[in-house]
């Protein structure tokens, strides 16, 4: 019998699944129909990658062997029953690496070259000469040493920035970061950092990692860029340090609640750049996500080793 694949979507269907439909029975489901669709299915594609529907449908997932999520982060999917099960989880690692690295560099350049003020002055037709900052030699500390963090480190190094990493364990001689500091030592190490870049996956160990103590330990005039998950960062503490002038700015692409509520104080905060969780979504990203899945699906149907297998207890690919 042909295997059965369920595609969970929210109205936006993936393209390019023709080769999968030739060898598998493909059912398309939304969150409210997933439980019925997944009954007896072998595999599940989470095209609607932020949906919590899998947990509610879990009692009907007794035949499920493989879940692929069309995202790099898997925190929206993981729950105890899935972690304890034999279901293999894969993600879309690799799709977002370069776009997010470019996005981070763009935010750093915008801060250093005072782009927002230039635009405001232009709108007011004010000619005001100013000096700007150089980024060569500035220190960027990247919290998260996975594939996306490495792409960021490589690009920032290429423009002359000094980079270091923060991961689970400390080490020297890393090919991309040079020095990697342990996340437990973050508050000790941030005192010399110009840009603190957050890209770590959300796990119990990283939730709230950049808290009030870390922000207070940063040197005056430093900036924070978050392209990981909103829960990595203590937003209230960030607002306090921005309002006091201790921190010079923040570029935030992710938030604890998305969309960001219209009454949230971040909207009115000075020197804050807000973007709607788009740092990795460069033109063609959905096609690339579909390609990654199709490649893995073909491997699955042939009984071959899957790419991007997630360690469910750690919450990321190792």
Cα 152 to Cα 100: distance, rounded to the nearest angstrom: 7
Question: Residues in the chain, how many?
Answer: 318
Residues tagged active-site: 229, 258, 277
- What contacts 24+ positions apart, CB below 8 Å, involve 166-171? 166/141, 166/142, 166/200, 168/205
Give the SS3 label for residue 22. coil
Query: What pairs with residue 26 in β-bridges?
Result: 5
List, in sequence order, the alpha helices (H) in the chain: 18-21, 34-38, 53-57, 80-84, 97-112, 115-123, 147-158, 186-189, 212-217, 235-243, 285-302
Characterize the bridge pairing of strands 171-174 and 272-274: unpaired
């Amino acid at each position: 019998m042909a295997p059965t694949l369920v595609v969970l979507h929210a109205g936006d269907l993936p393209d390019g699944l023709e080769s999968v439909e030739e060898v598998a029975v493909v059912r398309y489901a939304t969150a409210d129909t997933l439980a019925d669709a997944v009954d007896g299915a072998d595999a599940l594609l989470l095209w609607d990658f932020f949906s919590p529907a899998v947990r509610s449908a879990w009692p009907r997932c007794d035949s499920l062997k493989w879940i692929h999520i069309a995202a790099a982060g898997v925190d929206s999917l993981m729950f105890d029953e899935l972690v304890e099960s034999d279901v293999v989880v894969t993600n879309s690692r690799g799709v977002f690496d370069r776009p997010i690295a470019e996005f981070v560099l763009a935010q750093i350049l915008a801060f250093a070259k005072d782009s927002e003020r230039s635009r405001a002055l232009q709108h007011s037709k004010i000619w005001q000469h100013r000096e700007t900052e150089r980024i060569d030699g500035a220190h960027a500390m990247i919290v998260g040493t996975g594939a996306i963090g490495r792409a960021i480190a490589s690009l920032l190094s290429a423009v002359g920035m000094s980079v270091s990493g923060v991961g689970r364990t400390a080490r020297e001689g890393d090919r991309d970061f040079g020095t990697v500091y342990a996340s437990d030592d973050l508050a000790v190490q941030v005192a010399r950092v110009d840009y603190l870049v957050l890209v770590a996956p959300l796990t119990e160990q990283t939730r709230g990692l950049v808290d009030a103590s870390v922000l207070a330990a940063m040197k005056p005039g430093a900036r924070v860029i978050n392209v990981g998950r909103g829960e990595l960062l203590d937003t209230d503490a960030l607002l306090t340090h921005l309002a006091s002038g201790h921190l010079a700015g923040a570029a935030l692409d992710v938030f604890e609640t998305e969309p960001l509520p219209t009454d949230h104080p971040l909207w009115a905060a000075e020197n804050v750049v807000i973007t709607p969780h788009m740092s990795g979504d460069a033109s063609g990203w959905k096609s690339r996500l579909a390609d990654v899945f199709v490649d893995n699906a073909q491997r699955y149907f042939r009984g071959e080793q899957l790419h991007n297998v997630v360690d469910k207890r750690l919450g990321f690919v190792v």
